[in-house]
Structure 1
Amino acid sequence: MRPADAVIFDMDGTLTDTEKYYQQAWPEALAHFGYEASSETVLEFRSLGKPFALKRFKELFGEDFDYDLVRDYRRGLVRDLIEKNGIPLKKGAVEILKWLIENNITTAIATANEYARTKRYLEKLGIGEYFDKVICADMVKLGKPAPDIYIRACRELGKEPSRVFAVEDSPNGVKSAYDAGCKVIMVPDLTEPDEELQKMLYARTDDLWEIRKLF
C-alpha cells in the first residue's frame, strides 16, 4: 500500500527556484524606505502569510511600518527579476510531476502567492496541466504557517491529510502542512531543517526527483 494518495507542492523555493528573488528584493525594498534587515531576518519571511508578516514587521520596525507600501515595492523588484531572469524550475520538478501523473497520484499546489500570479506563473512554465487543484493564500483566511491552506487543499482533493505528502522548502511551510496533519517532505532550498523542524518531517530529500523513492 502506498504511504500517500496525493502530493501537494509549495511553489516558491520548492517547485521554482524563485525564493532567492524574494531574499534579494526584501532587503532592497526595506532599504528604499529607510529600513535595514539582516539576511537571517529576511529568511523568516519565507511563505509567511500576510497577518503574520504584518505582525512580525511591526515588531521589527515599529507600529508605523507600512507593510502594504513596502510589499508592493518588493513585488515590483521581484517582477523585474523574473522579467530579466525568468522563472527557473527546481531540479527534478518536471520529472517528478510526470512520474506522479503516470502513476495516477493526485497532485496540487498550496502556495503563499495569490491565485492570479500563481496561474500566470504556471502558464508561463507550462506545468499547470499537472495539477488537479491550485490553492493560494488569497483563498484562505490565514496563510502559512497556519494550516488553513493545506486543510483546504486536502478537502478539495478529497483526501485525508494523513494520506497526503506535502512538499515544502521553508519552516513556515513545513509547520503549515504538519499542523494540517500531512506527511511533510522537506526539500531544503536556502536552509536545512533545525532540530525542531526535523521532528515534523516524514522525510528530507536533496531534490524533487527523490520523492518517488518514498512511494
Structure 2
Amino acid sequence: MRIKAVLFDMDGVLIDTEKYLTRFWRQAAEEAGLLLTEEDSYQFRSFASRYAAPWFAKTYGEQYDYWAIRERRKELMSEHLRANGIEKKGGVDEVLCGLREAGYQTAVVTATDEERTRSYLSEIGILDLFDDIVCATMVERGKPFPDVYEYACRKIGRKPEECAAVEDSPNGVRAASGAGCCVIMVPDLTQPDEELFSLIDRKADTLCDIPQIILEWNKEEE
C-alpha cells in the first residue's frame, strides 16, 4: 500500500532537544540525591510519565520522587530553552515543504503536551507545515504504547499502513510499530539495537533521507 502521510515525532526528530532532556534529567535527579548515568537518562525519551513513574520507583527505589524530579527537569529545561531558544534539526523546512508539495499529509505525533508542542513549533516557524498535531495527552496511553499513533491515523483519515512514522527513540519506535505504521528511524542519541532493527522498516542517517525513502517505497507499489 502506498504511503500517503508522514507522521513525525518532535523531540529529537524535528527539534534538537533530546540532548537537553537527558542532561536535565541527570541534573534534577542529582539534586534529589540520585546519580544517573547518561545511558540511564536515555530511558526517559518518549516514555509516558504514567508508566515511567512505577518503572522509576522499581528501578531506583521509592525513596526518589519521580514526579518531583520530573517537574524539576521541566523547570531546568524550560529555563534553558527560554535563554537559548530551540534548535531545529537540519533540513526540517526543506523536507516538510517538499513532502507537502508532493501531496503528502504531515502530522506531529509527540509525547509532549499540546501547549508546549504548538509553542515550540511556532517558535521555529514550522507549525503551519503540519495538517495536524497529535499528543500523548490526547489518548489513554502514551508511548511506548501504540495509542497515540492509532489516534493520529484516525484523525487524519488514513490507515496505519498508509503512514510513515519518523522516530528517533526506542519508545517512539515501539509505539509506531505497534500501531502498524511503516517506521523510519532517524537515530539521535543512540543507534538501534537488535530489538529495534526488528521493528523498523528503514534506518535513515538524516531527516533529509526521508523523502527518497518514501519515494522508493511508493515506486515498489506501482
User: TM (normalized to structure 2)?
Assistant: 0.94
Q: How does 1:56-95 map to 2 (within 5 A)?
A: 56-95=55-94
**Amino acid in the other structure paired with 2:190:** T
Does 2:133 match 1:124?
A: no
Mapped to 2, the partners of 1:198 and 1:83 lie a distance apart of: 36
Q: 1:95 & 1:55 partners in 2: Cα distance?
A: 41
8 Å contact 2:32–2:64 — kept in the other structure?
A: no
Q: Where does residue 164 of structure 1 map in the other structure? A: 163
Alignment RMSD (CA, Å): 1.1
Measured in 2, the distance between the counterparts of 1:130 and 1:117 equals: 17
SS of residue in 2 equivalent to 1:201: coil
The separation in 2 between residues aligned to 1:155 and 1:45, in whole angstroms, is: 27
Q: Secondary structure at the match of 2:137?
A: helix
1:63 maps to a residue whose letter is: E
Task: Report the 3-state secondary structure (helix = DSSP H, G, I; strand = E; otherwise coil) of the residue aligned with 2:201.
Answer: strand
Amino acid across the alignment from 2:68? L
**Partners of 2:91 and 2:201 in 1: CA distance:** 20
C-alpha distance in structure 2 between counterparts of 1:45 and 1:91, whole Å? 24
Query: How far, CA to CA, are the matches of 2:139 and 2:183 in structure 1?
Result: 20
* Equivalent in the alignment of 1:188: 187
| 1: CA distance, partners of 2:60 / 2:201 | 36
Structure 2 match to 1:7:
6
Q: What's the TM-score, normalizing by structure 1?
A: 0.97
Aligned length: 214
CA offset digits 1:82-135 (Å, max 9, x no partner):
122211111111111000110110000110101111111111111110111101
The equivalent residue for 2:207 is 208
Counterpart in the other structure of 1:54:
53
- The Cα shift of 1:76 comes to 0.7
Instruction: Find the counterpart in structure 1 of residue 15 from structure 2.
Output: 16
SS at match of 1:184: strand
Q: Distance in 2 between matches of 1:55 and 1:3?
A: 40
Q: Does residue 141 of structure 1 match 2:140?
A: yes
Amino acid corresponding to residue 73 of structure 1 in structure 2: R
Moved more, 104-113 or 83-92: 83-92
Deviation (angstroms), 1:161: 0.2
- With 85-94 and 99-108 compared, the bigger mean Cα shift is at 85-94
Q: Which runs of 5+ in 2 are unaligned?
A: 216-222
Deviation digits for residues 28-50 of structure 1 (CA, Å, limit 9, x no counterpart): 00011111111111111111011
User: Residues of 1 paired with 2:94 and 2:58: CA distance?
Assistant: 42
SS at match of 2:6: strand
SS in 2 for 1:175: helix
Deviation at 1:62, TM superposition (A): 1.7
Q: How far did 1:64 drift?
A: 4.0
State the Cα distance separating 1:197 from its structure 2 match: 0.5
Identity of aligned residues (%): 44
1:172 maps to a residue whose letter is N
Offset of residue 199 of structure 1: 1.2
